[in-house]
Amino acid sequence: MTLESALRIVPDFPKTGIEFLDISPILSQPKLFYQLVQEMTIACQPYDFNKIVAIESRGFILGAALAHATNKGMVMVRKKGKLPGKTVQMTYDLEYGTDTIEMLPDSLQSGEKVLVLDDVLATGGTAKASCELIKKLGGDITACLFFIELSFLKGREKLQTPVESLIIK
């Protein structure tokens, strides 16, 4: 079984007309999850980084596994109000309104080399905002890595960094 064939498609989630790609079947099968981590490890080898910045929430699962496999640190990008203490924020536009993401101000050192990681690259709004937030904290983004890229939504075009995706749809 391939990673792509193991994805579960959930119609009309989170809203009508969207086909949600669920990674849960991969996470629940040790051999597939191991394969996914191995493929992510290979995909990030060309890049010099010492921290993985993982985007909420499935990105945390992949980010923790990849950080362990590569012996790197991991930093979380969370939605507003989910991190304790003082945070640094970035507000960005969505299709219907705005959203805000946050990081802890001491999570990155100035000049620290970062790999941005999430499960899916769709329109690129959250990934772009995450990159802007990392730059605001002085981080140096070497690449963005995604398990799945929905190329028809052209999210890659919003990112000004190398982009690696394991599955492109």
pTM to 2 decimals?
0.96
Domain locations along the chain? 47-168
- What span, in angstroms and rounded, lies between the C-alpha atoms of 116 and 48? 12
Per-residue model confidence as pLDDT tens digits over 116-165:
999 999 999 999 999 999 999 999 999 999 999 999 999 999 999 999 99
pLDDT computed for residue 94 by the predictor:
79
Active site residues: 58, 95
Tens digit of each residue's pLDDT (9 = 90 or more) over 91-116: 998 777 899 999 999 999 999 999 99
CA–CA gap between residue 39 and residue 112 (Å, rounded): 24
Q: Where are the beta strands (DSSP E) in the chain?
A: 8-11, 19-22, 51-55, 73-79, 88-94, 97-103, 113-121, 140-149, 163-168
Six token digits for residue 165: 């995706």
Q: Each residue of 1-32: pLDDT tens digit?
A: 899 999 999 999 988 998 999 999 999 999 99
Task: Please give the CATH topology (third level) of the domain spanning 47-168.
Answer: Rossmann fold (3.40.50)
